[in-house]
Structure 1
């Protein structure tokens, strides 16, 4: 039998403004320590040198992580033209250069080809698995990696600023699985001048934005205190894109035991995914079928 993890049974979301030079895992560990929480996870990895919104789930909120992972996200990033790097960002060695530089109009025109449903090849230095191995490990070992293109939905991609001829600041709103480094690489290739990501910041992810985020310094200052608890968002924040249905106490018990439970419905289609609450407290997530919800995830919070 595994050892029971010590800590508080606390559930909810904390929005962190991740600094550069720190891994997403390190941020999760810091948050779990600060709350003395039993369980924590995050919704969407940021590269170590990237900054911005990292939504950290505690306790039962970890069951809602997939809904944030699947939600739209927005990134602001700077592309450096004229250089291709091994990692598609500023950390990698420069592997090719070009004297060409695009005009603003060239950039705006090229961006149209990166909006909508596109096919994207992940960077070689990425967490994509190949035969059970991470691509970045194979790349570090010098192996020639052939990564398959995968679909990505890009809602918006716009030019925000042009500080100089070598750089452009862009903003992208995209779905799950988007690699900003690939966008920069492919944009540079399309423009014939090469390119890589210089800086990257996630400005919002689903319902979470930098406006709500705490720095690691703030978390450190409030660690193990009731003050930090006040910044915790309820676990149902991660269910913002799903319709909410209510139920009575009897149905709540059935749902929490993994059985279908009757709900009060309003405009939910047969088979639609939704979440169920009792007096505002999340009970379960499941599929609506003929007056009942068949649970796929249940919550034990009270």
Structure 2
């Protein structure tokens, strides 16, 4: 599936993919990159192979702004099966404990609310976090348990969609770094039970919605022009920052890395999306510092940012 590097092209933008089951995020990224023959690509947060759903992919100059989406809140729809714990916390692991389910929907709802807000969470052994340069999941496969420090995360909301007495469907809105498998296990422990995930689908990240994502098969079915038409501009990754514009002379200095005078009023260290007022083209991201100057932080390549 690979193409010679010399044949790859500079193409910029954001592609929203609906990642299928049983494919890694990196494999999905490489597939999308191949379909667009892109020279440079990166994703904005890994999904487990088990998980499906929204996976924004950044191409070309958009990769410069991918970190802002990595830090964004995420939304998931999790399917949780109570009564059994597995080695991995999901359906792919071996069952290591079974227990009766001695709670009803009201009891589940009551316990779920205890997990809303800022909480501590211990990352699972089956994760890509590293210890001494080695992913934790490799230790787990060797039967080695590594001590993990709890992390502070935020669960913004938990909504019970359905519960049939064994399996619950729960919508989760959470901060970055949240492990939904661990959240399900911790809820079960609070219910004096056990649980594991049987399904996980990412529904939101930042301002993006799953309804706007495209299946890889659907992208592949298009010609190159159709694929390119799916790309969103790089500045969609930083829409949460206010915008400002520069005249032609100031924009010319700005795109070459020079700070320019900021005429507005704002708190120091405020970040802005910067555009050329000549053609409304996105130039990059900047912040206002103590000298009341607008300092570039991330710039599009000069050849991309003509004024």
Bin for the TM-score computed over the shorter chain = over 0.9
Q: Is the 8 A contact 2:255 2:300 kept in 1?
A: yes
Q: Say whether residues 1:11 and 2:12 are aligned partners.
A: yes
Distance 1:90 1:60 in 2: 38
Distance 1:170 1:95 in 2: 23
Question: Could you say what secondary structure the match of 2:214 adopts?
Answer: coil
> Out of 270, 290, 293, which is 2:268 matched to?
270
The count of residues paired between Structure 1 and Structure 2 equals 297
Distance 2:244 2:214 in 1: 32
Distance 1:137 1:42 in 2: 23
Q: Is the 8 A contact 1:247 1:263 kept in 2?
A: no
Distance 1:264 1:65 in 2: 28
Shift in Å, 1:150: 0.5
Which region of structure 1 is more displaced relative to structure 2, 28-37 or 95-104?
95-104
Distance 1:268 1:231 in 2: 35
TM-score normalised according to structure 2 size: 0.92
1:22 match? 23
Q: Is the 8 A contact 1:74 1:204 kept in 2?
A: yes
Shift in Å, 1:291: 4.0
Shift in CA distance, 119/52, structure 1 to aligned 2, threshold 3 Å = same
Question: Could you say what secondary structure the match of 2:137 adopts?
Answer: helix
- What residue ranges of structure 2 are gaps of 5+ in the alignment? none
Distance 1:6 1:293 in 2: 38
Q: Say whether residues 1:247 and 2:240 are aligned partners.
A: no
Q: Is the 8 A contact 2:129 2:135 kept in 1?
A: yes
2:196 match? 196
Q: Is the 8 A contact 1:246 1:264 kept in 2?
A: no
Distance 1:286 1:170 in 2: 39
After the TM superposition, which parts of structure 1 deviate over 6 Å for at least 4 consecutive aligned residues? none
2:297 match? 296
1:175 match? 175
Root mean square deviation, CA, Å:
1.6
Shift in Å, 1:137: 1.2
Question: Could you say what secondary structure the match of 1:77 adopts?
Answer: strand
